[in-house]
């Protein structure tokens, strides 16, 4: 539809088109619905990047589900995290007895995800289970070992924006995932 050329001339390449993302998110939603059938599911989105993915994913989940968010601040340089990550917004609800599924936009070095486990409620350890669902996985850059239970797409070592992912706060609104011009 030429969205890239109209609203984002800075995009060099579309890595994942809107319909590819939608199809995969539908599959993930169906899989999660089957896996958590009969269980009390709580999705925990990591702000801000996961908000678009989570909003589409939740509409593809057919079992009862609650949603909460944590926010983390990272002292990185804009394109990568430094390993210093602080929880700036903790969970509002208790995870006690619930099956928690952490929702991430992308796992790169792995630091953000590792530190998100520090959210007070998760650390209290009363969740029935804690698993991870990420839309994108960039395994080539991993620094900390982390187990990913659901992965949308494995991508190469390129900096991507769109569908919630930003560069310097921008491009989260793009409906596709693209690579910025260098
Ligand atoms: P990690 O802590 O290095 O695993 O990086 C995770 C966070 O860094 C993500 O939640 C994103 O906010 C950001 N990030 C890592 N790679 C990219 C990318 O390619 N595009 C946009 N943001 C990214
Ligand atoms: Mg970010």
16: CB partners within 8 A, 6+ apart = 153, 155, 163, 176, 177
Given ligand 1 and candidates 108, 151, 176, 182, which is best to mutate, with the most ligand atoms within 8 Å of its CB? 108
Band (pLDDT 50/70/90 cuts) for residue 122 is: confident
Quick one: CA dihedral 52, 53, 58, 59, positive or negative? positive
Lookup: tokens for 38: 């009969």
Which residue minimizes the CA distance to atom 9 of ligand 1? 106
Indicate yes or no: pTM above 0.85. yes
State the DSSP H helix or E strand holding residue 114, giving kind and residue range, or none if neither: helix 111-116
Per-residue pLDDT reduced to its tens digit, 123-159: 676 899 999 999 999 999 899 888 999 999 999 999 9
8: CB partners within 8 A, 6+ apart = 162, 171, 174, 178
Q: Is residue 12 a contact partner of residue 180, using CB atoms and an 8 Å limit?
A: yes
168: CB partners within 8 A, 6+ apart = 78
Given ligand 1 and candidates 76, 112, 148, which is best to mutate, with the most ligand atoms within 8 Å of its CB? 112
Q: How far apart are CA 181 and CA 161, in angstroms?
A: 11
3-state secondary structure of 133: strand
Segment among 66-70, 90-94, 171-175 with least mean pLDDT? 90-94
């Amino acid at each position: 539809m030429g969205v890239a050329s109209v609203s984002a001339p800075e995009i060099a390449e579309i890595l994942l088109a809107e319909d590819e993302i939608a199809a995969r998110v539908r599959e993930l939603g169906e899989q999660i619905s089957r896996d958590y059938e009969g269980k009390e599911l709580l999705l925990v989105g990591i702000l801000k990047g996961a908000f678009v993915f989570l909003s589409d994913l939740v509409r593809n989940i057919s079992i009862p589900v609650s949603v909460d968010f944590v926010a983390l601040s990272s002292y990185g340089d804009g394109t990568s995290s430094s390993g210093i990550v602080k929880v700036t917004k903790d969970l509002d609800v208790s995870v006690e007895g619930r099956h928690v599924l952490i929702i991430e936009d992308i796992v790169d070095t792995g630091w953000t995800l590792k530190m998100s486990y520090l959210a007070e409620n998760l650390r209290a350890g009363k969740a029935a289970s804690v698993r991870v669902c990420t839309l994108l996985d960039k395994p080539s850059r991993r620094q900390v070992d982390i187990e990913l239970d659901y992965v949308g797409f494995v991508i190469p070592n390129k900096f991507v924006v769109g569908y919630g992912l930003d560069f310097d706060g921008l491009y989260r609104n793009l409906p596709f995932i693209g690579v910025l011009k260098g």
